[in-house]
Structure 1
Amino acid sequence: MTSGSTYGGIDGCRGGWIAITLSALSGHAETYLFSSLFALWQELSDAELLLLDMPMGLKSKGREERRCDLLARQLLRPLRTSSIFPAPVRGVLDAADYAEANGINRRMGERGLSKQTWHLVPKIREADSLLRSEEGACRKFREAHPEVCFATLFGAPMTFNKKTEEGYRERMDYLLTLFPAADKVIEQAMTQFRRSAAARDDFVDALVLAVSGVVSKGDLNSIPDPQEQDEYGIPMSIWHAKLER
């Protein structure tokens, strides 16, 4: 279990969910791999905040995308805009396969569904189920996006793709300025977990979310501001920290 001074960054991965927690008091880091988000919630529900790289609130209909996605894409121009996938409409969560999901999104969302987004649907469904069934989860989880966090923490979008060696080094060089143990945390995580379960960039994504929680002390900024909500009261916002410069 974690303490109230702990902030978590969570990213979906091949093996389930990677979580990195950081103590705001000691800087101590822990890395976890959970098979389900419900198992993660059981273990980490005592954290101050949990920043999750996955769409949370969803629109039920209409061609217009979530405003948070549109604004985040603008913030990441010109090189990292493609990292923000259009979120599906809520009805897609009930689809059995891509063809059905694409049809639902075309009918209710008035646009097709990308294959990239379809691959995220099981994890979006899992997050939605947790948020709607566990009252405390909506208070602890915040939707966040690693590329938005990098851009707002360091003043500009990243130059290189995160999966390249240049992209990894670029992100780590920035993270080391805020969290000097960043290299050690990633190296330990790569040793601790098999690459078939999680990739190096999954750990980096989780870490920048956790760092954002710590440096902001939980006082995060919302895109958009004020935040919007879906029909179930789940925020449709992407949260981030912003350093004063």
Structure 2
Amino acid sequence: MNKLVWMGIAAVAAVLLFMLWMYLTLVDHTPPPDRFKQNITTSRTQTPQPPPTTAVVKPPFNASSYEVNYTLVFTVSFSGITMTMEGWVVIGTGHAGNYSFGMLTVPLQGTATFKSATEGNATYTMTCLHGYCTVNEEEWPFIGLIDGVNVTRTAKGQCRRLNYTGTLYEERGMLDPKAFSRFVEGLSGNYTAYVCEANGVMLSADLTATTSAHGEMMRITLKMEAVKAGPYSSETYRRNLQEVKAVSNR
């Protein structure tokens, strides 16, 4: 550091010390006696206040009627390569029928959108990519990814999401090969998931799986987090079903 820089630092330090000396010398820091005594008296008569209580919020949904908007991150790692799909999905379940819609960013493909609705025993799923849409009578592929086989479930305590208090579950089981068949054939493995449920509705899921396929080890993670949860919408269901069937009939 050269001489001019040191001189600048010394000048700034000198100014700061001079201002501090002026403040300590010219300003009277002794509080008025009456005010000081009043503060002491007040502090002696004050009583501690109880901590505020957290209001219990009753969810406006249950396992048979709800609509939840989730963020979604799905990651697959194998042979030193990691692929991640991110997006969001809205899932609704109710008396008229079930529906889902959302958007995903797919590696090397772009952004895909989808809509799905049930009608009786049929499920119509529309997927659009690069302006081209197809409709199949099958469930959206991610719906069953966290539904394993030979699953054990243990309650681990309480969890809190969206200001709702629920139960945190630890799930252990095997991945369902059918759920992953469109992505990876012959996949098998075990998973552990931590799921937060409120009133029977999933508000978050954090799944980690170690699997193998065709002799290759693979690690899969799936994270879903509710950003909004509310009652089932019959109007959304009807609109989804009409739009999907309109494309299907073209």
If the length of structure 2 is used for normalisation, what is the TM-score? 0.25
If the length of structure 1 is used for normalisation, what is the TM-score? 0.25
Richer in strand (by share): 2
Richer in helix (by share): 1
Larger RCO (alpha carbons 8 Å, 6+ apart): 1
Report the structure number with the largest CA radius of gyration. 2
